[in-house]
Amino acid sequence: MSVVLLDIGNVLVDVDFMVFCRNVSRHGESGVLELYGRYCVSEFKHLFDKGAIAPIDYLETIAGDPETRPMTIQELKTAWQDIFFPKKEAPDSVREIMRSHRVWIMSDTDPLHFTALLNILPVLRTAERYLLSFEHGYLKREPGAFHELLSCSGQNAKQFVLIDDREDNCRCAESCGIKAVHFRDWRQALLELQDI
């Protein structure tokens, strides 16, 4: 039985970082793009996702930004976590996959987001294993993420299939000998998985 490596963001949930940016911006829309660039898609965010920055340090940095309105750390944490919207088809689709595959979660995420996701997405708790960037220090666009997977699992690359919305992550998996399905929607992903 092969193992399906499921991504979370834009596969199991829709993600909208702009909700966070609008919620915390001191200067309304004029500050939203600044905050987005600094904390949602920057190298600083990638370091947070790799576990190189502690959650409190990340939040305190955002709190100290002149573009951020005055907020408690708890309010900031809540805003940071309140950006996920479960995909309606995801739970049934994951159950469908589990009929013929083992399911592991493989995600580029930070500890604050993962905690929130466990609370809003019960299907995550049905996964057999979690491979999270903040625990092992690699993003999926880096071969190290897949080398770590193969090393810690003791399994051959041919045993795995990645389902991910990012083409660069899929290419990286394939460069490491792992098959990949570039996720666009659940119908397409399940059909492609059947053909593998």
Residues 161-193 pLDDT 10s: 999 999 999 999 999 999 999 999 999 999 999
Residue 97 and residue 171 share a domain: yes
Per-residue confidence (pLDDT) for residue 160, from 0 to 100: 98
> Whole-number mean pLDDT of the chain?
97
Residue 73 and residue 46 share a domain: yes
Q: Is the pLDDT of residue 125 over 90?
A: yes
Q: Amino acid identity of 180?
A: A
Average pLDDT over residues 64-83: 98
Write the burial class of residue 124 (CB in 10 Å: 0-12 exposed, 13-18 middle, 19+ buried). buried
End residue of a domain, out of 65, 81, 97: 81
For the CA atoms of 132, 120, 45, 33, what is the dihedral angle to 10 degrees? Answer: 150
Residue 116 and residue 75 share a domain: no
Per-residue confidence (pLDDT) for residue 1, from 0 to 100: 66
Average pLDDT over residues 88-107: 97
Q: pLDDT category, 31, cuts 50, 70, 90?
A: very high
Residue-wise pLDDT for 105-118, tens only, equals 999 999 999 999 99
| Beta sheet of 179-182, edge-to-edge order | 129-132, 102-107, 3-6, 160-164, 179-182
Number of H helices, E strands in the chain: 11, 7
CA distances from 112 to 77, 127, 132 (A): 8, 19, 12
| φ, ψ (nearest 5 deg) of residue 6 | -95, 130
Residue 161 and residue 104 share a domain: yes
CA distance 147 to 160: 12
Average pLDDT over residues 116-131: 96
End residue of a domain, out of 81, 101, 126: 81
Q: Is the pLDDT of residue 140 over 80?
A: yes
End residue of a domain, out of 81, 101, 131: 81
Q: Could you list the residue range(s) of the whole structural domain that residue 161 is in?
A: 3-14+85-195
Average pLDDT over residues 89-98: 97
As for how many domains the chain has, the answer is: 2
Residue 77 and residue 25 share a domain: yes
Average pLDDT over residues 58-64: 99
Residue 164 and residue 69 share a domain: no
